[in-house]
Structure 1
Amino acid sequence: MQDSPSRDTRIALDLALTVRHDGRGGVVDDLADLAGLGAWVRAHPDTVPDAERLTADEQTLAAVREVRAAARTLFARAVRPGEASPADDARLLPVPEALRRLNAAAGRTPTVPVLHWPDAGEPAVRSEPAHGAGPDLTAALAQAVIGFLAGPDRQRLRACHAPRCVRYFLKEHPRQEWCKPSCGNRARVARHHERRKRTA
């Protein structure tokens, strides 16, 4: 069993997973509008310091969606030689453009390293906005994606290729092929049906 994923890894994966299967053959975008972005931020209170003060507008939504597009492009690169998520087949940016967008977004807020050391735990360093700078969701997300892609968890990143799944996941053990057991079940059923069709 692998170590627990880092905060950056969790944020980066959660952002990528805002593109998901709708259960009927299509793809849903949880960040399709401001209400969706607000709901996602509220569901992830540790994403950005002072997230409760965040005021999202159309410009913020567009910027977050750009970071997500860059992240999913770079996730597709990270899983090579494996295939990218089927949701990304026609949507990938050129890698240099994805890198440019991600790095530009990460620079939107100057940050400083802040040491956190709970009484019953190990010290941890987190980047937080420099004194006087307001929270910037886009910068926080971009910095988390960069931290994940530059860190050790990237080596475990995989795209799930079960029927109808569009998720990326971290491989937890050597034989893991799917993001969750239900995807494994769907993949086995689909293979069984395909074999029966060929022999019929």
Structure 2
Amino acid sequence: MEETVAADAAAAALPPAPGADRHASLDFADTAVTLPAGQSYDLLSAPDSAMRWLTAHGLITPGVRLYEVCAQRTRTMRGHVRALFAARVDGTAPPEESLRAVNEALTAAPTAPLLAWDATQGPRRVQSHPTDQAVNHALANLAADAADLLTGPDADLLAACGSAPCDRFLLRTHGRRHWCSTRCGDRARAARAYARRNNTPT
């Protein structure tokens, strides 16, 4: 039976994958992870945890309250972003429905900060939008970041973690081997050493 690890504990156990600091969409794709021994976690599994993740990434303001329908929309978009990343890594055509979902998110809300002015701060850029459209704006920004990643110079660095069963994405930093964390790298090296000792293929 699959055991679901508490989101906060799992998040502390696995640091962000390489490249997540440059692309929020990469960290977004990695909010659901398969771990060894049938374990997994989902940082968007409930409205509260989805709200914490979106707030931590500056995609919604702390005062915004999310409902299950919003969390579900966020998880659905994550699935589409993961499908596009997987297609890029595998060199295959992406699913049409995932392309359509990202394009719909891109056009559902403006992602550019507006110009505002007040007597205290003078001119400044603000993400101004109605609270009931907060999720639209968050998903639009994540879709824009995913599109930038897939079409920019980092696209060739996009990879899937090479330590099964982990299914996180990352940007390769060097070499052919690519793991999302030290833990996954250690597990892959241990599996190779075990296979060599026992003359079993890896």
Length-normalised TM-score, structure 2: 0.71
Structure 2 residue 112 is the aligned partner of structure 1 residue 99: no
Structure 1 equivalent of residue 157 of structure 2: 156
CA drift of 1:27 comes to 2.3
* Kept in 1: contact 2:47–2:67 (CA 8 A): yes
Aligned-pair distance for 1:80? 2.1
Matched residue, 1:34? 47
Match of 1:120 in 2: none
Query: Please, which runs of 5 or more residues in structure 2 have no aligned partner?
Result: 1-17, 116-124
**Mapping 1:1-200, distance limit 5 Å:** 9-44=22-57, 46=58, 48=59, 51-81=61-91, 95-112=95-112, 129=127, 135=134, 136-198=137-199
Q: Shift in Å at residue 16 of structure 1?
A: 0.8
Q: Sequence identity, in percent?
A: 33
The amino acid across from 1:198 in the alignment is N
Aligned residues: 170
Which residue of the partner structure matches residue 90 of structure 1?
none
Q: Name 1:89's counterpart in structure 2.
A: none
Deviations 1:91-146 (A, max 9, x none): xxx6111001111122221243669xxxxxxxxxx9x75x6555422222222222
What's the offset of the Cα at 1:32?
Answer: 1.1
Helix, strand or coil at the partner of 1:74: helix
The letter for the 1-side match of 2:157 is: R
In structure 2, distance between residues paired with 1:133 and 1:72 = 28
What's the RMSD between the two structures over aligned residues?
Answer: 3.0
Shift of 1:183: 1.7
Q: CA deviation at 1:17?
A: 1.0
Describe the shift of the 1:190–1:81 C-alpha distance in structure 2 as closer, same or farther (beyond 3 A): farther
| Partner Cα separation in structure 2 for residue 154 and residue 73 of structure 1 | 14
**Residue-by-residue CA offset, 1:26-54 (whole Å, 9 max, x unaligned):** 3221111112202212332x2x2x52243
